[in-house]
Structure 1
């Protein structure tokens, strides 16, 4: 997993301060780690937006003004309901041997049998919550869809974890992750064959 350095500035929490930060192109955020005091910071909105909207997960070295780097990952991001701008972020610090839960984007590999038959691939869960050491986390979670047939799904419980030792998927086991939908044309063709 790629490590990104992101500059942060400590901030003081006071009335209307968050809105002033946002107007000046900064995002209020907090940095926390179990057993330590939570630190309020601000981050350049543009840099954070690029990071949040990338297709991969990242380990983030938060760089404080004194030059100290603190290793973290994004735990939560809040968006404005109308503008979709980032209005707040939470960063969780971690140590190398610590077990954490992290959201990792899903990507697919292979050509689905169902798509070759005319079906439409639909990714239902665009990310999975994984539990394990942050250093074991992939940038994205690759699922092979080669055997996925028309009108079938891959559920969380069916995802092989052989390529991801030490990691556990924390999402609901019965949740569908990827499916191949039958198009109207395929449904009509199946109905003709059945009659």
Structure 2
């Protein structure tokens, strides 16, 4: 069997898009009045996908797809003014404290570990994490990834970069779910 190398940049964009799309879809379905049972199930799947994909990027540092691994493998070019991606960027973007981020991070990782990936019956049910910060942190990371690729392109590396802005991507995802919910 032939092994095919998977481009880590494509994986990052795929995960970021999964997270953002799942957040947008879950939020839209949540706001639909008089949802049928099928929509509740789909909303639950979207919510779970948002948590899982967010954790794959931002959760445990040991994940191969964690943003820190990509930052080490594809550093910011020396001549670029782009800052390396870090937790401080997320905290600043969300306008929250380090403590609030740490609490959110823990809730997201614990929810993934105890309710989605490894269901633990002994855990007392608690309020699931809000995915608004997941959406915003994934959006910020996507914008930074695009800036990183543009910095590499400016340094002479030949690569294709999407022309789809973050705003256009959000509009597309909103349009898609609105069409389904009509």
TM-score (norm 2): 0.20
Normalising by structure 1, we get a TM-score of: 0.19
Based on CA coordinates, which of the two structures has the bigger radius of gyration? 1
Question: Does 1 or 2 have the higher relative contact order (CA < 8 Å, sep 6+)?
Answer: 2
- Greater percentage in strand: 1
Greater share of helix residues, 1 or 2? Answer: 2
